[in-house]
Amino acid sequence: MQNDEPVNQPTSENEEDYPTESQSAIPEVVIDPLELEVRRLRESSDEFKDKYMRGLAESENLRKRMQKEKQDLMQYAVQNIINDFLTPIDHFENALKFTEQSSDDVKHWAIGFQMILNQFKDVLAANGVTPFVSVGQPFDHTRHEAIEMVETTEFSPGTVVEESLRGYKINSDRILRPARVKVAKAPASNETIAELNEEIN
């Protein structure tokens, strides 16, 4: 016997309350594989570019550092050679001072030696090596080597009063050889001398 009772069919309201499977699913986002590959290649390209730029900078820094070390080494070698020439020049100058009281024959020889000495000095000057003035200048430990303190009232204390070995500089500012000098100091007062005599006696 057939059941004549109608089967409850979902109303339109019920259909809205219970969405179908196709309605409830999250829509898929389709990403083009080519776009993914482009992104990956772009990131890879940026990374390689960054590494290349860093490598280039490091290479340039290394080149500059090696060039500076080479220049410093050459300059150091040149300075050592020039320094070796300064001592014979000192001897030449000292020897020529004594010829002033010598005979005429010796003075004629001295003129020739003076010309040779001047040529040496010209070569040094052409390479940036020049003597500097010390007498009358304040003592400077970077330019002077004090060998004696001299009591005097002619110069203020701390002033160079005499030069026993001439100092030379290279390239206008770098000291090639410090000058050996005597430095002024204030004379001891009578009271100080009396105190020293008492201590001695």
126, amino acid identity: A
The DSSP code sequence of 134-194 is: -TTSBP-TTTEEEEEEEE-SSS-TTBEEEEEE-EEEETTTEEEEPEEEEEEEPPPPHHHHH
Give residue limits of the domains in the chain.
34-127, 130-187
Given pLDDT bands bounded at 50, 70 and 90, which one contains residue 175?
very high
* CATH T-level fold of 130-187: Nucleotide Exchange Factor Grpe; Chain A, domain 2 (2.30.22)
Provide the percentage of residues in the chain whose pLDDT is more than 70: 79
pLDDT digits (tens, 9 = 90+) for 134-152: 999 999 999 999 999 999 9
